[in-house]
């Protein structure tokens, strides 16, 4: 990982995003609705996408919120209020499942089924420019 904590202010978008991802590991394992902590496969994939996207974007990398679903998948959401748009990266709980990306602007939305770092970069740049 090339992100240095000592050179990044604690409120920089990459630091906020990384802290939010790590905080998911500190959740209780389960509750009445299902799994709260991410699976190791989901966490590893999410970290890989975030670090590689940050390496390519630098200070243009936007901060993301992070959450899990009841199976331990991770959802990273980058959003903007004006205009209202967002990009969501879903990293599945199991390593044999494919990550996917959802993007939305107003009533227009679509899903990218084959996600690579370069596709994530395209949509994060789109979010920055929208």
Angle between helix axes 13-25 and 40-57 (nearest 10 degrees) is 170
Domain region containing 41:
10-129
Q: Which residues of the chain have pLDDT under 70?
A: 1-9, 35
Tens-digit pLDDT profile for residues 2-17: 444 445 567 899 999 9
Whether 108 is covered by a domain: the verdict is yes
Report the C-alpha gap between 101 and 6 in whole angstroms: 31
What pLDDT is recorded for position 9? 60
Q: Which residues contact 17 (CB under 8 A, 6 or more apart)?
A: 50, 61, 63, 64, 66, 76
This prediction's pTM = 0.86
Q: How many distinct structural domains can be found in the chain?
A: 1
Whether 1 is covered by a domain: the verdict is no
Distances (CA, A) of 114 to 1, 40, 57: 24, 21, 21
Whether 89 is covered by a domain: the verdict is yes
Whether 5 is covered by a domain: the verdict is no
Whether 115 is covered by a domain: the verdict is yes
Whether 101 is covered by a domain: the verdict is yes
Report the C-alpha gap between 130 and 127 in whole angstroms: 5
Whether 65 is covered by a domain: the verdict is yes
Tens-digit pLDDT profile for residues 42-53: 999 999 999 999
What pLDDT is recorded for position 8? 52
What pLDDT is recorded for position 5? 46
What pLDDT is recorded for position 126? 95
């Amino acid at each position: 990982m090339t992100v240095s904590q000592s050179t990044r202010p604690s409120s920089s978008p990459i630091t906020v995003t990384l802290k939010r991802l790590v905080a998911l590991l500190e959740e209780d394992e389960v509750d009445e609705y299902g799994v709260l902590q991410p699976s190791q496969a989901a966490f590893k994939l999410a970290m890989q996408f975030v670090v590689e996207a940050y390496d390519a974007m630098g200070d243009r990398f936007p901060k993301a919120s992070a959450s899990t679903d009841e199976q331990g998948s991770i959802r990273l959401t980058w959003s903007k209020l004006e205009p209202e748009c967002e990009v969501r990266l879903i990293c599945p709980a199991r390593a044999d499942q494919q990550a996917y990306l959802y993007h939305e602007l107003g009533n227009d939305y679509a899903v990218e089924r084959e996600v690579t770092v370069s596709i994530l970069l395209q949509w994060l740049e789109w979010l920055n420019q929208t």
